[in-house]
Amino acid sequence: MTQSKAALTLGEIAAATQGELQGNRETQIFGAASLAEATANEISFFYNPRYSTQLRKTRASAVFVPRDFADDIGAAVIRVENPAKAFEQIAMRFAPAPVQFAPRIHPSAVIDHSVQLGEHVSVQPYVVIEAGARIGAGTTIGAGSYIGHDVVIGPGCIIYPRATVRERCRIGAHVVLHSGVVIGADGFGFELTAEGQQKVPQIGIVQIDDNVEIGANTTIDRARFGRTWIQEGAKIDNLVQVAHNVVIGKHTVIAAQTGIAGSARIGQRVMIGGQVGIIGHVEIGDGTAIGAQTGVSKNLNGGVWWATPSVPLREAKLHLAWVRRLGEFFERVKKLEAKLGL
């Protein structure tokens, strides 16, 4: 639920979202919430038939609906092109103001004398910034974060509390790193020798381009040599593992608990669902979509893929249907064998 003291009338909301109102223009709305959680004087939204039951039961005073919506639900409706986006627009009007940190260096921060700080940088309590680091203008470094030697962080970034950016890594402009992110830990490289496992030196870096956002407790390992590269506009969820020398293309989206092994190359505008596993050295082509819990063991070049090992979505659904009918087929075979005396 999103709620504040300032109210908007339904007439104002319809005008702001270019919507067609069916209801009392003077009704006041004080907040925004989901269909299941909304109460009187709040607004919600509906766009997917799977939520029809919640729509019929909602206590919201008004609901954003698609242009072709024709049902009578008892609440006022505002018909718009995109109910979810219209709801988001109005929900932001009721949301609390975002937390802002004033440009300053907290006295508990430990900053080497060689560090270069741009204008209006905010460094919060107990931050450590090592020698040779450069921090761009307007960037915020959250409490307890660690910025390693010779790291470069561009302007307008938000580094949330307790994030780690290790030595020599490069962060572009307007990057968001959420709490617990580790950028530049060693890649997982060992060789078995007569004396046991011997560590393979990991001497590369991580490069993160502009407008990337990385979720809490995600890890992006430095390259064995060269770079692990997250390209412009990529969005990575919480608890994702990106191994050494991986390349993730522009505007790709990766959901939580995905693991990407070393030297995999992910194209542009790829969509990867939660808990996907991708083996090393494979290539995922531009525009590919990979369903949740898929195991990728070969190159994929476009299309929608699912299951383990990954197959085209239509084929995966067919296989699933066959498996679910195996019990029925088994009983039929038993009956046939009995008739034949086998």
Q: Which residues are catalytic?
A: 244
Distance CA 1, CA 56 (A): 19
Contacts of 165 (CB under 8 A, 6+ apart): 145, 146, 147, 148, 151, 153, 159, 171, 177, 183, 184
**Where are the alpha helices (H) located in 63-133, listed in sequence order?**
83-94
**Where are the alpha helices (H) located in the chain, listed in sequence order?**
10-16, 52-57, 83-94, 313-324, 326-340
How many Cα atoms are found within 13 Å in the side-chain-facing hemisphere of 7? 12
Most distant pair of Cα atoms in the chain: their distance: 90
277-278 vs 259-260, strand pairing mode: parallel
Query: Residue 46: what residue type?
Result: F
Q: What angle do CA 176, 233, 210 make, to 5 degrees?
A: 60
* Start-to-end C-alpha separation, the chain: 65
